[in-house]
Chains A and B, each alone.
Chain A
Amino acid sequence: DTAVSQTPKYLVTQMGNDKSIKCEQNLGHDTMYWYKQDSKKFLKIMFSYNNKELIINETVPNRFSPKSPDKAHLNLHINSLELGDSAVYFCASSQVGAQMSQYFGPGTRLTVL
């Protein structure tokens, strides 16, 4: 009965590769997010979707492309991976109007070699 799940939990890959991270929430929320947490634990928002529509698109390289096939899923595809992409990526969801508290997934630790 996991609320927000992400796959994979760990991802180790070579520079230049393309990879995807998947996120699913079973809370019935209408808004989903992707965050990046760097080695200093600084958490920065990357994207947000509300009812499958992109509403937040921070200054992120266009190598990062989110896709929301439906309200319950938000995937993140990364092209041409670089060393600086190494981080922990968190998916989160919330329900607009319901105090906006966010529910986070367990994170995906991406290591680019």
Chain B
Amino acid sequence: SQQGEEDPQALSIQEGENATMNCSYKTSINNLQWYRQNSGRGLVHLILIRSNEREKHSGRLRVTLDTSKKSSSLLITASRAADTASYFCATDASAGTYKYIFGTGTRLKVLA
């Protein structure tokens, strides 16, 4: 079954550094989303990128999508301690479906 896989599984950086997380998926998609999950909380939607888009920005976030490689990356610039969380990518299972498949997540720790 289609499943996104994030890489790396865990990442530890110093405050102010940039953090890059990657997501790979298996089948064609209409769009890909990134979510953040703080410890003990629900997921929060960060950004959506459509299959015909290659790059998207939102504040300190930059998402790229390479449909030929079936991969996406999330870049967080100038990281802050508050960015410490798990980050998940989610892909729609197929056109017209309401079903999203979530990846395994990257645990990001930003050290102050």
A residues at B contact (CB < 8 Å): 4, 31, 33, 35, 40-45, 48, 50, 55-56, 90, 92, 94, 96, 99-107
Give residues of chain B (22-59) contacting chain A, Cβ–Cβ below 8 Å. 31, 33, 35, 37, 40-45, 48
A90 near B98: Cβ-Cβ < 8 Å: no
Nearest first, the 3 closest Cβ-Cβ pairs linking A and B are A104-B42, A101-B45, A43-B102
- Chain A nearest CB from B109 CB (Å) reads 14
Chain B interface size, as a band, is: 20 to 34
Q: How far is the CA of A96 from the CA of B43 in the complex (A)?
A: 18
Q: List 20 other contacts, CB 8 Å, given A50-B98, A96-B98, A100-B48.
A: A41-B37, A41-B86, A42-B104, A43-B102, A44-B102, A45-B99, A56-B98, A56-B99, A90-B43, A99-B48, A100-B33, A100-B92, A101-B33, A101-B48, A102-B33, A102-B45, A102-B100, A103-B45, A104-B44, A106-B42
Main secondary structure of the interface of A (DSSP, over half): strand
Q: Are B42 and A100 in contact (CB under 8 A)?
A: no
* A-B pairs with beta carbons under 8 Å apart, 28 shown: A4-B42, A31-B98, A41-B37, A41-B86, A41-B104, A41-B105, A42-B104, A43-B43, A43-B102, A45-B102, A48-B98, A50-B98, A55-B98, A56-B99, A90-B43, A99-B31, A100-B33, A100-B92, A100-B98, A100-B100, A101-B48, A102-B33, A102-B43, A103-B45, A104-B35, A104-B43, A106-B42, A107-B41
